[in-house]
Structure 1
Amino acid sequence: MTPAFSLAGISKHYPDFSLRDVSLTLPEGQVMGLVGVNGAGKTTLMRLLTGLAAPDAGEVTVLGHRLPGEQVAAKADIGYASEDMRLYRGQSLRWHIELVRRIYPGWDESYAAELVQRFDLRPDQAVGGFSHGQRVKSLLLLCLARRPRLLLLDEPTTGLDPVARIEVLEALADVLRDERRSVLFSSHNTHDVEQLADTITFLHQGRLVASADKHAFLENWRRLVCQGPLPADLADWPDIASVRANGSLVEIKARAWRDDLPARLSARGLQVQRTDPMSLEDIFITAVRSGAVA
């Protein structure tokens, strides 16, 4: 099966930022959440996948097409929406719909009409009068109604009020039911990623920190609260990402949970008082701070 995209040894350098040695693959029909703080390199990676930027090193393949050389063929099946994309303020949403419909033969008229209703949009109003949330939903409508095989969404829920955010997430959840459609969406909101993604990828300062199945992250990472003296070499254990002592209590965050970990800690004088799962946000922060790879 041809992957939705494949990045092999990708590097891209700008005067004030570099994306370095990134290798990543998204299987067809999968949803990948790309998590990182602002400036981590998420938008640069998206631009490489759309052919808007060419790598300085490495290979980019999207839907079986090598980029940037074959980007015209690839773009026919790519849907891309970014928070900084702009619509023509003096034109109506209906005008934009007609423009995109003429360009893309796969345009789904009935689905577009459904999204107009779901997003509570006014097709005949000039988009210059739309709120931020309405503009974001309009961009998503123009992207989703094309029924692209690969959907690239760069921070799709940024700046949305709670109601608009839920509407967008529900529409995306519907799109994800199509097993042939692949999605990469970036966000610094780990809650959105955890809700929708099959695979989670952490990006920080232009480097790939970790990438794995969502359930593997949630299963493998644990927070342990222990009591006893802190062994000097505990931070060097390969399955432990961070250690913090507070008096007689020691907090341990493990990146590779094994059932024998409490017994091994007990043998070093630490008694485990409690073991808790970790949220995706806590996992991301701990992985970035420790340089842990999961």
Structure 2
Amino acid sequence: MSVTASNMEVTSKKIVVTGALGQLGMALQEQSKHHADFECIFLARKDLDISSRDNISLVLNKHQPDVVINTAAYTAVDAAEDDKKQAFLVNETAVGYLAEECKKRDCALIHVSTDYVFDGNKSTAYVESDKPNPQTVYGASKLGGELLIESSKISKYAIIRTSWVYSVYRHNFVKTMLRLGKERDSLSVVNDQLGCPTWANDLADTILTVARELKEDSSGVYHYSNKGSITWYDFAKAIFENAQIDVLITPVTSDLFPTKAKRPKNSVLDTHKIKKQFQVDIPEWEYSLQKMLKGL
């Protein structure tokens, strides 16, 4: 598909997005409307099962994309502790299949990863070169996927680690707080885990910018979240204030909410690299939260 403007031919990029029914996949569908130079094909699991190499090959042969954006993942952090086989199948093995099939077709791959590849013990923001040390099955499986992309020697790829993703879609912290705030007079929220929320729409815009600009010499690992650092308690407080919900919130320590999978104490990601390389705008977390709440 091509259009002519000012005597110059501009060829649109064809993009296949996996995990179309997840919150990031749905945010990409929304934000892709603002990127007219892309032809985006959104595929749910029934359309593309990334755990099947044959299915990947069949679908990529059919669509012949320039870029694959992989948002499909096993994201049930606690369930993964007991479902290790499935977590590694989706987050590691399947990602390796995608990388190899994209490499065969000289197709770029953008893969979404997570702050859980780190142990959370660093006192400052994590940069891309920090050594991963996952403490959970989920984190280990996501790191495994990253390593298979790198070892595939694919020429154009971006691994984008993110954290605390929320949106108007699916289940996430913001929607859970809004529901609980209407059901209860008081809540206890963890105040000893530090991170930065990421509005899925901002992340989606950044991914599409990377898709447009990605080249061999800009391939690699990147971090993206909104700007700032807060605790879950800070985040909950801001949600209720902006939504004008009157609820008493008590800050508590993580040991009052034991979970199967260990949560990182520090999930703050340094985003300077992606901002400099792709000239992306990174809004403050509270500004993006306000925009998201207006869309509900």
Q: What TM-score do you get using the length of structure 2 for normalisation?
A: 0.29
Which one has a bigger Cα radius of gyration? 1
Higher helix share: 2
